[in-house]
Amino acid sequence: MWEGRARAARRDIAALATSGMGVTQLHAAAIEVLEQVVGNDLTCWAAMDPGTLVISSMTSGRVHIPAEYEPKLAETEYAADNPNSFAELARRPYPVARLSDLPYREVVRHRRLNEVWRPLGIEYEVRAAFTVDGDCWGAAGFVRGGTEFTDREVEFLGSVAPAIGAATRVAVRTDAHGYQGGVGPSIVVTGPSGEPRAVTSAAQSWQDALDEIAPGRFNTLLRAVVTGTRAAATGTFQARVQTATGGWVVMQGSRLISDDDQSEVVVTIEPASGRHLVGMLLAAYGLTTREREICLEVIAGRPTADIADRLSISPHTVQDHLKAAFTKVGVRSRGELVATLRPDDLTYH
């Protein structure tokens, strides 16, 4: 029964990922899915920056923590002596834990329990980090009084957590590109062979534009991205594609968690900006790996001494590589190099 519920929840969450929701909307909808199995008095979900493991936003269930306890909860989250913090869970091989499973001496002096939950009449807590392909995209805490969270509930959370991580990863891209004014995100949901199963209206416009070059080009590119995504250890794959007008778009695939050979990949499509194209330009000019690294540092505005320190080479070596790059790009100064390669000046058209 529990395995069936977990399978159904993973599929529901995968469906949410394909709907074009932002992170807050996604987490609010996922809370409703999980509350059908994991009963609680209060739940708080966090979006996490996978690079720093810092909370970037919070979403609550139907019951919100009283406002006067929010600062205490935030303070305990980042305290050095706080077992089962979201950041700590994100680093664990199994990112789900009950507070009561800690050693007794740690439970009795646990700040979150003593300063937040017990004053609210709550005794039990279970937490989960939403980690997928090595990156943590979110986490959640569930608390309640009366009865402890069962082993089955812990297993259920562990089973669905990667699916929530994968869905959150897709939702982050929706938020990052600021879809507004009724223009939805360009999303394609594909089946196991890369065939489109669902296409948003915005993605349909990209399909029409790419098929202008050759009929069926969009589906061919789609299958290539899906194949790359399935093969990538990170669970994501990105391709830069040129349109009939000479502009560029980026197609990025993300694996969704599934239980069988019907697993799905979500592909998002967006106009390419300079940050997508600069690496390709550096390669197109025939720069070596080290020359590319130095050019990126120059574009970032760093002086020779800083570049040398960051790359662990001498300033003289930096200048030698830079001169070689000038020759290949056809410029005579840093200013001309930046003007030629600056990401902000390279956009889709």
What is the CATH number for 295? 1.10.10.10
Residues 84 and 206 in one domain: no
pLDDT score, position 259: 59
Last residue of one domain, picked from the residues 111, 141, 176? 176
Instruction: Looking at the structure, tell me whether residues 217 and 257 fall in a common domain.
Output: yes
Other Cβ atoms less than 10 A from the Cβ of 213: the count is 13
82 and 36 within one domain: yes
Tens digit of each residue's pLDDT (9 = 90 or more) over 129-183: 999 888 899 999 999 998 999 999 999 999 999 999 999 988 887 776 555 444 5
Burial status of residue 146 (CB atoms within 10 A of its CB: 0-12, 13-18, 19 or more): exposed
Instruction: Please list, residue by residue across 44-69, b when 16 or more beta carbons sit within 10 angstroms of its beta carbon and e when fewer do.
Output: bbbbbebeebebeeebebeeebeeee
More confident residue, 40 or 278: 40
Q: From residue 340, how far is each of 177, 225, 240, 264, 343 by CA, in Å?
A: 25, 29, 19, 40, 9
Overall pTM > 0.85: no
- Kindly state whether residues 131 and 25 are assigned to the same domain: yes
Domain boundary among 213, 241, 272: 272
What's 237's domain CATH number?
A: 3.30.450.20
Of the pLDDT bands very low, low, confident and very high (cuts 50, 70, 90), residue 213 is confident
The predicted structure's pLDDT at residue 20? 79
Q: Report CA dihedral (265, 270, 273, 276) to the nearest 10 degrees.
A: 10
Res 348: pLDDT:
41
Same domain, 43 and 106: yes
Is the model's pLDDT at 346 over the cut of 50? no
- 60 — phi, psi (to 5°)? -105, 160
- How much is the mean pLDDT over the chain? 85
Whether residue 55 is found in the same domain as residue 113:
yes
Domain co-membership, 9 together with 52 = yes
* Segment of 30-44, 50-64, 211-225 carrying the highest mean pLDDT: 30-44
Most confident of 161-165, 282-286, 288-292: 161-165
- The yes-or-no verdict on residue 258 having pLDDT over 70 is no
Average pLDDT over residues 272-284: 69
Considering the domain architecture, whether residues 33 and 106 belong to the same structural domain is answered as: yes
Let me know if residue 181 belongs to a domain: no
**42 is a domain residue:** yes
Of the residues 253, 272, 291, the one at which a domain ends = 272
Q: What are phi and psi of 239, to 5 degrees?
A: -135, 140
The answer to whether residue 117 sits within a structural domain is: yes
Same domain, 161 and 90: yes
The rounded Cα 161 to chain-centroid distance in angstroms is 14
Q: What is the pLDDT of residue 209?
A: 83
> Number of structural domains, the chain?
3
Instruction: Tell me: do 198 and 106 sit in the same domain.
Output: no
Residues 95 and 227 occupy one common structural domain: no
The secondary structure of residue 237, as a DSSP letter, is E
Alpha-carbon distance of 134 to 107, in angstroms, equals: 29
Question: Does residue 262 share a domain with residue 203?
Answer: yes
- Residue 137's domain is classified under what CATH number? 3.30.450.40
Domain that holds residue 79: 2-176
Q: Taking 70 as the threshold, does the pLDDT of residue 319 lie above it?
A: yes
